[in-house]
C-alpha cells in the first residue's frame, strides 16, 4: 500500500506540474530508445570550433549562437558546485560542452540528443537547444507530459524550452554523481552510489529551487512507469544499463533520497560524509538501512531480491 500511495502522489503531481505537449497521443506510443545510460564515460568532443566561457568552478565550451544557453547552464552548475563546497568542503571544478545536434552526432554519443552525458572524469556534454527531436524524445519518455514554461522563451517554442529544463535536471544529477565520487561517499554498492547521487541532487533543489521540486517529482514519477514496481533487484544497478532501465532506477533513488533528506534536512550530505568516517571510510548499505527506518521500507518496497528480468 505504501508503494501505491507514493506512485499515486507522483501521478497527481504530474497532473499539477506538467502540461501536455503537442502530439502527445503519438508520443505515448513511442518506445524508449534502446541505448545506454548517460553515466558511461564518453570521450570529450572536438573543441576547435567551440567558443569558451570561463568560470570559477565551471568552464564551458559552447557552440556558436548558444551563449545564453551556455551562461544559464554555467550559472546553475556553478551554484551547485558552490553549494557542495559549503556542505562537504570539496572544491568541485568541472568542464561542460554545450553542443549542437550535429556536433553531438559527430561526437558519436550513444545517447539521444536532449540528454546530457558524462565525458571524461569531471566533465559533461549537454544539448545547446531544444528542437522537435528533443520534444519527441521527452514526450515519449514522459507519456506526452512536459514541464510548464512561464512566459516566452528566448529561442524555440515553450515545449522545446521545457526539454532543456529536463536536460538540466539530469545535468545537475551527473554533476552530483561526480561530487559523490570526489567526496568518497559512493559506498560499498552501486545502488548506494546512485542513492547518494540523488541525496546531493535533492538537497541542492531544496536549498535553491524548491519551487521546481514538483516538476522533479513528476518527472521521476512518470519515468518510474518504464517498468513496474520491484522490477529489478538493487544489485542490478550499473552504469551500462539500457537507458530506460537506468531512468527507472533514478526514479527509485529519487524517492529513497527524499527519505534521507526529510530526516537530515539541508545537512544531509555532510551527515553522509560523517557516517562514512565513522564506518572506517566506506559508507555501507547495511549502515544506511539500519539507521533510516523509512529508507529500509523504501528499499524493500522498491526492489526485488530476485530479478524478474529474463
Nearest to 249 by CA among 2, 38, 27, 31: 38
Domains plus CATH for the chain?
Answer: 2-302 (1.10.390)
Residue 21 has pLDDT above 80, yes or no: no
Please list the alpha-helical segments (H only) found in 209-242.
Answer: 213-223
| C-alpha separations of 113 from 110, 128, 288 in Å | 9, 9, 36
Taken in order 189, 34, 27, 308, is the CA torsion positive or negative?
A: negative
Nearest to 302 by CA among 48, 31, 6, 90: 6
Residue 12 has pLDDT above 50, yes or no: no
Residue 216 has pLDDT above 60, yes or no: yes
Q: Which pLDDT score is estimated for 88?
A: 81
61 has which bridge partners?
52, 97
What pLDDT, in 10s, does the model give residues 290-307? 999 999 999 999 998 754
- What mean pLDDT do residues 91-111 have? 94
| Length of the chain as a residue count | 310
The reported pTM is 0.85
pLDDT band at 152 (very low <50, low <70, confident <90, very high): low
- State the pairing for strand pair 51-53/94-99: unpaired
- Mean residue pLDDT of the chain comes to 84
How many beta carbons lie within 10 A of that of residue 13, not counting itself? 20
- What mean pLDDT do residues 61-90 have? 90
Chain centroid to CA 138: 14
pLDDT band at 248 (very low <50, low <70, confident <90, very high): very high
Residue 192 has pLDDT above 50, yes or no: yes
pLDDT band at 151 (very low <50, low <70, confident <90, very high): low
- Residues 57, 45: Cα–Cα separation, whole Å: 20
How many beta carbons lie within 10 A of that of residue 297, not counting itself? 15
What DSSP element (H or E) covers 121? none
CB 140 within 8 A of CB 30: yes
**Per mean pLDDT, which range of 10-24, 111-125, 221-235, 257-271 is the poorest?**
10-24
Amino acid at each position: 500500500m505504501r508503494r501505491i500511495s507514493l506512485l499515486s502522489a507522483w501521478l497527481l503531481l504530474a497532473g499539477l506540474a506538467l502540461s501536455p505537449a503537442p502530439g502527445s497521443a503519438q508520443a505515448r506510443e513511442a518506445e524508449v530508445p534502446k541505448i545506454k545510460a548517460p553515466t558511461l564515460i564518453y570521450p570529450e568532443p572536438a573543441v576547435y570550433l567551440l567558443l569558451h566561457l570561463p568560470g570559477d568552478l565551471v568552464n564551458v565550451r559552447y557552440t556558436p549562437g548558444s551563449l545564453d544557453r551556455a551562461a544559464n547552464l554555467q550559472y546553475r552548475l556553478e551554484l551547485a558546485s558552490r553549494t557542495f563546497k559549503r556542505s562537504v568542503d570539496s572544491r568541485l571544478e568541472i568542464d561542460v560542452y554545450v553542443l549542437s545536434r550535429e556536433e553531438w552526432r559527430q561526437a558519436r554519443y550513444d545517447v539521444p540528443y536532449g540528454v546530457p552525458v558524462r565525458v571524461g572524469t569531471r566533465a559533461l556534454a549537454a544539448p545547446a537547444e531544444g528542437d522537435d527531436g528533443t520534444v519527441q524524445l521527452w514526450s515519449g519518455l514522459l507519456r506526452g507530459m512536459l514541464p510548464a514554461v512561464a512566459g516566452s522563451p528566448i529561442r524555440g517554442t515553450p515545449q522545446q524550452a521545457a526539454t532543456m529544463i529536463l536536460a538540466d535536471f539530469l545535468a545537475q544529477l551527473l554533476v552530483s554523481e561526480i561530487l559523490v565520487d570526489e567526496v568518497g561517499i559512493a559506498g560499498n554498492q552501486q545502488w548506494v552510489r546512485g542513492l547518494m547521487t540523488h541525496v546531493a541532487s535533492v538537497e541542492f533543489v531544496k536549498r535553491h529551487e524548491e519551487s521546481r521540486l514538483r516538476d522533479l517529482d513528476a518527472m521521476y514519477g512518470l519515468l518510474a512507469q518504464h517498468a513496474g514496481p520491484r522490477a529489478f533487484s538493487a544489485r542490478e544497478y550499473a552504469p551500462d544499463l539500457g537507458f530506460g532501465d537506468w531512468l527507472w532506477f533514478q526514479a527509485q533513488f529519487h524517492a529513497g533520497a527524499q527519505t534521507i533528506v526529510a530526516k537530515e534536512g539541508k545537512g544531509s550530505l555532510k551527515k553522509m560524509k560523517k557516517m562514512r568516517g565513522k564506518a572506517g571510510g566506506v559508507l555501507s548499505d547495511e549502515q544506511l538501512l539500519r539507521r533510516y527506518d523509512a529508507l529500509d521500507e523504501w528499499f524493500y518496497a522498491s526492489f526485488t531480491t530476485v530479478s524478474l528480468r529474463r
